[in-house]
Amino acid sequence: MAGRPSTYATPAALKAALQAEARRLGFAAVGVAAAEPLFDLAALLRLRQERAMATPWEDPDPARRSDPASLLPGARSVVAVAMAYDPPRAAAQAGERAVPGDGDANGWRGPDPSRPDPARQDPDRSRRRPEPPGEVALRGYVAAAGRTRSYQHVMRRRLEALGRWLEAAVPGCRWAVQVDTGPLVDRAWAERAGIGWIGKNACVIVPGRGSWVFLGELVTDVALPPDQPLADACGDCDLCLRACPTGAFLGPRQLDPRRCVSFLSQKPGMLDPDERAALGQSLYGCDACQVVCPYNRGAGPGHPALRPAAFWGTGPADEPAPAGEGNAGTAGSEAASAGPDGTGDSPVAPDLVALLRMGRADFRRRYRSLTGAWRGRKTWQRNAVVALGNRGAAARAAVSVLAELLRADPRPDMRALAAWALGRIGGGAARQALAGVLEREADHRVRAAVREALARMGGDPGDPAGHAVRPVP
């Protein structure tokens, strides 16, 4: 054990105690991998870069992303963990249940094959987007992962507590943790450490939990016995590939992020017209390829620490915190269950009009504890405008707030996007709002967007009745 005395007789005993402590801290799965570079992963990352498929948030160095020494020089073991979060209601209502068995160490062998598969019974189901519960008008969609309390904060504190436990067991050992931000590829180490396999939707599937999990790592210079990777259990199922609303999968485990709704909802800057259409009603993320997965339909509730109690009013507080960290459950208690406009806003289906009226301080007060809020108010408001535009005439109740954005928002890109949305919503009030700003708008990009919107509606500012449109110079 890195040449140091341990309070445990053998490395295997230390590993067993470490795993027990990890579970006590709230992790649903924990495994160990040798901290050796993943050369195949580095080659794959280089190929993705060559094909312009890397995301803006990735470390650009494939060697760093595939070697634990980039996080901790002298690393010998990677302890990979998963923390479960609540599945969306669609998964909970799918009717599947986990059954006991002897297929793996957790006594779980997947969904009950005797029960019908809703997606196979209804092929069109696999192409449908997740919708906000209750089909509530003028509300957007936040994926299950995005509506949790900030998992980076919750998991990091628990991993650091696990590191302190290890340091007490092996005095003088070194360790470092990673949750979300860092060089290592979480999914690759989860797979190598045997806590799950990578499904065809490129998500890690943890036995008994499915892919409704967040991942993290504790890297240490203590040598621990490694676990064996799990066998791929997807078989010939391709429900996730067929469920993608934008066809973002090039093949099994080959995701083109440029076409993925989850990526588009987080992408910096403005979206082009094709990307806006693909985004649908999403404010953050997409659950389509996970909801249909048979292994996800048996997943139970997630960890209470990840539930944003502020939104539910009666949501549970965090479990007793690791030593010395206080109770994290109080972080969400400062906000009431009703939204800023008194509509009872929730992280599942935020009110789009209320969101567009929020200032920076209001947004931070309302959403700062959510995982999905890391992209900030501007990105959420951009997506809200896109969602309204994609609803077309059904969003005419939002014309006034879009008209105000078009008239007074200091951001030219948001004014142009508001013009696009008004053009898709249509109607006399939308045409009047567009015509009213054309002559005094100083930004040529916004003017072009206004003209295009008026052309789409079949009228121009000099012809409120909607007759033929003059050619746009």
153, β-bridge pairs: none
State how far the Cα of 195 lies from the Cα of 213, in Å rounded to an integer. Answer: 11
State how far the Cα of 201 lies from the Cα of 198, in Å rounded to an integer. Answer: 8
Residue in the structure block whose two tokens are 């073991």: 77
pLDDT: is 407 or 341 the higher one? 407
Task: Give the mean pLDDT of the chain.
Answer: 80
Inform me whether the pLDDT recorded for 114 exceeds 50: no
Inform me whether the pLDDT recorded for 109 exceeds 80: no
Residue 8's pLDDT is what? 85
pLDDT: is 150 or 103 the higher one? 150
Residue 188's pLDDT is what? 94
- Dihedral sign for Cα atoms in the order 98, 102, 104, 107: positive
Residue 229's pLDDT is what? 97
State how far the Cα of 189 lies from the Cα of 3, in Å rounded to an integer. Answer: 25
Identify whether 180 is a catalytic site residue. Answer: yes
Residue 459's pLDDT is what? 55
> pLDDT band for position 299 (50/70/90)?
confident
Inform me whether the pLDDT recorded for 342 exceeds 60: no
Q: CB-based contacts of 299: which residues, under 8 Å, 6+ apart? A: 84, 87, 91, 98, 208, 209, 210, 212
Residue 347's pLDDT is what? 63
Inform me whether the pLDDT recorded for 366 exceeds 90: no
Residue 349's pLDDT is what? 81
> pLDDT band for position 346 (50/70/90)?
low
- Average pLDDT (391-403) is 96
Inform me whether the pLDDT recorded for 113 exceeds 80: no
141, β-bridge pairs: 282
Q: CB-based contacts of 92: which residues, under 8 Å, 6+ apart? A: none
Inform me whether the pLDDT recorded for 150 exceeds 70: yes
State how far the Cα of 464 lies from the Cα of 473, in Å rounded to an integer. Answer: 20
- Average pLDDT (242-269) is 93
Inform me whether the pLDDT recorded for 126 exceeds 50: no
State how far the Cα of 376 lies from the Cα of 368, in Å rounded to an integer. Answer: 9
Residue 411's pLDDT is what? 93
Residue 189's pLDDT is what? 96
pLDDT: is 318 or 155 the higher one? 155
pLDDT: is 17 or 321 the higher one? 17
Per-residue model confidence as pLDDT tens digits over 369-384 = 889 888 889 999 999 9
pLDDT: is 463 or 70 the higher one? 70
Q: What percent of the chain has pLDDT over 90?
A: 60
| Strand extents, DSSP E, 185-307 | 197-198, 204-205, 213-220, 249-251, 254-255, 282-284
**Given 180, 232, 238, 256, which residue is catalytic?**
180
pLDDT: is 346 or 172 the higher one? 172
Residue 345's pLDDT is what? 58
Residue 89's pLDDT is what? 66
∠ CA 357-379-449, rounded to 5° = 80
Inform me whether the pLDDT recorded for 423 exceeds 80: yes
- Average pLDDT (333-357) is 60
